């Protein structure tokens, strides 16, 4: 999560610098006003970025990320509720895809959406029924 925040700060500073640079090329601004221009632009860039990210950096997960995966449940970082399968809950309640959820919370791309024991049980049932074998 820290890397995500650092990346976001870096992106916002990059955009702020580009906007201010372009503005200064086309407008005369007193030296003592440049800092004010930068502050105003940075504030607006930050607002735009936060709105586009659903205020991701303003929210804290309902549970620590490291505690969100248990053998029998995946705990939703949005509301702290435990599920065997998280994908449907995210879509119906928060309109988030697994990719958006992972990005919002700075999770790795292989972060599970299904509890490990449940996934193993489903895999066992699929193998027992012959799924995936040539007939």
Please name the residues in contact with 109: beta carbons below 8 A apart, sequence gap of 6 or more.
102
Cβ contact 63:74 at 8 Å? no
What six digits make up the tokens of 50? 């936060």
Query: What tokens does 31 get?
Result: 């030296």
* CATH (residue range 65-128): 1.10.10.1550
Per residue in 54-104, pLDDT (tens digit) is: 544 457 899 999 999 999 999 999 999 999 999 999 999 999 999 999 999
Q: Could you say which DSSP state residue 126 is in? A: H
CA distances, 87 to each of 45, 94, 96, 115 (Å): 31, 10, 8, 11
- Model pTM? 0.54
Tell me the mean pLDDT in the region 1-12.
64
Task: Give the domain ranges of the chain.
Answer: 2-58, 65-128
Confidence of residue 110 (pLDDT cuts 50, 70, 90): very high
């Amino acid at each position: 999560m820290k890397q995500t925040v650092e990346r976001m700060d870096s992106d916002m500073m990059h955009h702020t610098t580009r906007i201010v640079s372009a503005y200064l090329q086309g407008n005369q601004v007193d030296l003592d006003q440049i800092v004010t221009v930068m502050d105003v632009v940075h504030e607006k860039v930050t607002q735009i970025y936060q709105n586009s990210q659903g205020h991701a950096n303003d929210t804290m997960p309902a549970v620590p990320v490291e505690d969100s995966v248990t053998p029998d449940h995946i705990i939703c970082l949005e509301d702290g509720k435990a599920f065997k399968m998280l994908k449907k809950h995210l879509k119906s309640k928060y309109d988030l895809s697994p990719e958006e959820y992972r990005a919002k919370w700075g999770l790795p791309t292989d972060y599970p959406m299904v509890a490990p024991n449940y996934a193993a049980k489903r895999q066992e049932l699929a193998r027992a029924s012959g799924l995936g074998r040539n007939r």
